[in-house]
């Protein structure tokens, strides 16, 4: 049961603002400002709003914490407030877990310290290096702040890391190892070295005078993804725990699947078979059928090969009975290790609020990506089963299954129609 959501994204960090932007659709992609590290290196980028470090960590820790941890802390604070849960009062700290993942961890911290080493030698490197860049530091900081004393972990599976964290939450609750899990993903991907690596790999969108047009999943004119930063955190708990404290649920997390392409380090298997297997396994674990799926939030990065591989997997799994499909990366760009959690949040909100966001910039669908695309405007539909897909370098695939909240109280968006609907 998802009872809390927090996000830090290029379209804002308030849940309703975030979802309204996806539905409008309203792009968060910009040309890098002149004073930004990405300026002159890439043409479009998704920059998350600044988070005041002092609002989420102590003044001492603010000097040490990397941006990936600061964004995760902000999202976790918002999710915990949204859930209305007090750890130590509403739930036993030993029965509470935290799984907050990342693809690369504190690359910005490591880069700064590498420069310090080159300029000043050994003594120039901070003794707090590891407290800044280790991938588990977001989970550790959240655990310390909230007194979470149960299971904690950080799963590093590149762009599927956030989705893997959410799957781990369901595993922990299903195995009766936790009653509540704070989970999600985060990535501060806009460091010079990381940007240069993607740029030189020719993975990024180029040639767009208007940066808002650069990310175009499944579109015939796509030519790469747009790098973004951000994170998302969910509070997931047992439904009886939520009911006991009168909490309202957004949705139930009912199943998950994970597969590996076993094909190439950075290229997806173009046949899409592992993507299809992943969704099949996820639906089986949820006890749901393909025919019941009413929305699929695709990984859809806007890369030529990746979009084709995923589309083929969806075609294999659903045949002629495809659910409505969209990728929200047309609005946010690709948040790497944070993407799976942010897109799971989008899927949950689509199910809870009864609005399915479109794929932004999908003007002429690639015939090799023939799907039941949501284009132009959001659809007013309330699916009974929704899927969120993630894939990653290394061939990692994750599918998450969400269904309507089984708590006595449910979150709704009634009375606020900020999304355009068809």
Per DSSP, 246 falls in state: T
Is 211:44 a contact under the CB 8 Å cutoff?
A: yes
What is the per-residue pLDDT across 194-219, written as a single tens digit (0 to 9) for each? 999 999 999 999 999 999 999 999 99
Nearest 5 degrees, angle CA 242-CA 178-CA 240?
Answer: 25
In which band, very low, low, confident or very high, does the pLDDT at 414 lie, cut at 50, 70 and 90? Answer: low
Say which residue the tokens 């000097």 belong to: 63
State mean pLDDT over 252-275. 97
Catalytic pick among 23, 159, 183, 369: 159
Say which residue the tokens 């290096």 belong to: 129
In which band, very low, low, confident or very high, does the pLDDT at 192 lie, cut at 50, 70 and 90? Answer: very high
Task: Give residue 6's pLDDT.
Answer: 98
Q: Is 398 helix (H, G, I), strand (E, B) or coil?
A: strand
Is 256:388 a contact under the CB 8 Å cutoff?
A: no
> Any residues with CB less than 8 A from the CB of 189 and at least 6 apart, and which?
103, 104, 107, 195, 227, 228, 229, 335, 336
Catalytic pick among 23, 164, 183, 334: 334
Q: Is 226 exposed, middle or buried, given 0-12, 13-18 or 19+ CB atoms closer than 10 A?
A: buried
Percent of the chain scoring above 90 in pLDDT:
96
H or E segment to which residue 146 belongs = helix 137-146
Number of alpha carbons in the 13 Å side-chain half-sphere of residue 170: 21
Confirm whether 299 is a catalytic residue.
Answer: yes
What Å distances lie between residue 211 and 30, 89, 187, 207, CA to CA?
A: 5, 47, 21, 9
Q: Which two tokens stand for residue 149?
A: 């004393």
To the nearest 5 percent, what fractions of the chain are helix, strand and coil? 40, 20, 40
Task: Give residue 103's pLDDT.
Answer: 96
Cα–Cα nearest to 339, from 76, 161, 142, 139: 161
Q: With b meaning 16 or more CB within 10 Å and e meaning fewer, what string describes 7-25?
A: bbbbbbbebeebbbbbbbb
Catalytic pick among 164, 299, 373, 396: 299
Q: Is 118 exposed, middle or buried, given 0-12, 13-18 or 19+ CB atoms closer than 10 A?
A: exposed
Please report the domains of the chain, with CATH numbers, ordered by start residue: 2-399 (3.40.47.10)
Q: How many residues make up the chain in this entry?
A: 422
Residue 412 in this model has a pLDDT that exceeds 90: no
Number of alpha carbons in the 13 Å side-chain half-sphere of residue 395: 14
DSSP H helices in 14-66: 15-23, 59-62
Confirm whether 334 is a catalytic residue.
Answer: yes
Task: Give residue 205's pLDDT.
Answer: 97
Per DSSP, 218 falls in state: T
Q: How far apart are CA 382 and CA 388, in angstroms?
A: 15
Q: How far apart are CA 275 and CA 308, in angstroms?
A: 11
Q: Is 157 helix (H, G, I), strand (E, B) or coil?
A: coil
What is the per-residue pLDDT across 76-129, written as a single tens digit (0 to 9) for each? 999 999 999 999 999 999 999 999 999 999 999 999 999 999 999 999 999 999
Adjacent-strand bridge partners of 227: 334
In which band, very low, low, confident or very high, does the pLDDT at 51 lie, cut at 50, 70 and 90? Answer: very high
Secondary structure E strands in 151-250:
152-153, 180-187, 230-237, 248-249
Q: Is 78 exposed, middle or buried, given 0-12, 13-18 or 19+ CB atoms closer than 10 A?
A: buried
Residue 418 in this model has a pLDDT that exceeds 80: no
| Crossing angle of the two packed helices 273-286 and 304-318, in degrees rounded to 10 | 50
Q: How far apart are CA 240 and CA 140, in angstroms?
A: 27
Q: Is 375 helix (H, G, I), strand (E, B) or coil?
A: strand
Residue 422 in this model has a pLDDT that exceeds 90: no
Q: How far apart are CA 310 and CA 316, in angstroms?
A: 10
> Any residues with CB less than 8 A from the CB of 122 and at least 6 apart, and which?
none
Task: Give residue 415's pLDDT.
Answer: 37
Confirm whether 36 is a catalytic residue.
Answer: no
Is 327:346 a contact under the CB 8 Å cutoff?
A: no
What is the per-residue pLDDT across 282-315, written as a single tens digit (0 to 9) for each? 999 999 999 999 999 999 999 999 999 999 999 9
């Amino acid at each position: 049961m998802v009872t809390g959501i927090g996000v830090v994204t290029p379209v804002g960090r308030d849940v309703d603002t975030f979802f309204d932007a996806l539905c409008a659709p309203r792009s968060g992609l910009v040309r890098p400002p002149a004073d930004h590290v990405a300026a002159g290196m890439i043409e479009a980028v998704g920059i998350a709003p600044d988070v005041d470090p002092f609002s989420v960590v102590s003044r001492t820790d603010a000097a040490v914490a990397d941006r990936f941890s600061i964004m995760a802390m902000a999202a976790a604070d918002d999710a915990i407030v949204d859930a209305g849960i007090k750890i130590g009062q509403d739930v036993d700290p030993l029965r509470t877990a935290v799984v907050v993942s990342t693809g690369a961890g504190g690359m910005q911290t490591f880069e700064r310290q590498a420069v310090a080493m080159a300029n000043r030698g050994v003594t120039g490197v901070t003794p707090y290096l590891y407290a800044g860049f280790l991938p588990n530091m977001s989970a550790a900081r959240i655990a310390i702040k909230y007194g979470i004393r149960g299971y904690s972990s950080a799963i590093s599976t590149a762009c599927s890391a956030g989705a893997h964290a959410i799957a781990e939450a369901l595993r922990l609750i299903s195995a009766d190892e936790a009653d509540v899990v704070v989970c999600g993903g985060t990535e501060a991907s806009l460091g010079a070295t990381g940007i240069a690596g993607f740029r030189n790999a020719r993975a990024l969108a180029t040639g767009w005078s208007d940066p808002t047009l650069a990310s175009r999943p499944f579109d015939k004119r796509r030519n790469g993804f747009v790098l973004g930063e951000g994170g998302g955190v969910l509070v997931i708990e047992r439904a009886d725990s939520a009911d006991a404290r009168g909490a309202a649920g957004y949705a139930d997390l009912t199943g998950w699947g994970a597969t590996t392409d076993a094909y190439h380090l950075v290229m997806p298997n173009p046949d899409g078979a592992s993507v299809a297997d992943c969704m099949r396994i996820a639906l089986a674990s949820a006890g749901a059928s393909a025919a019941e799926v009413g929305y699929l939030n695709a990984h859809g990065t806007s890369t030529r090969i990746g979009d084709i591989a995923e589309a083929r997997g969806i075609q294999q799994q659903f045949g002629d009975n495809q659910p409505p499909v969209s990728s929200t990366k047309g609005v946010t760009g690709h948040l790497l290790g944070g993407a799976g959690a942010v897109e799971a949040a989008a899927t949950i909100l689509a199910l809870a609020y009864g609005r399915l966001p479109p794929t932004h910039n999908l003007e002429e669908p690639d015939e090799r990506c023939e799907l039941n695309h949501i284009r132009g405007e959001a659809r007013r539909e309330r699916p009974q089963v929704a899927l969120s897909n993630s894939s990653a370098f290394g061939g990692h695939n994750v599918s998450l299954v969400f269904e309507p909240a089984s708590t006595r109280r449910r979150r709704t968006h009634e009375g606020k129609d900020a999304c355009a609907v068809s």
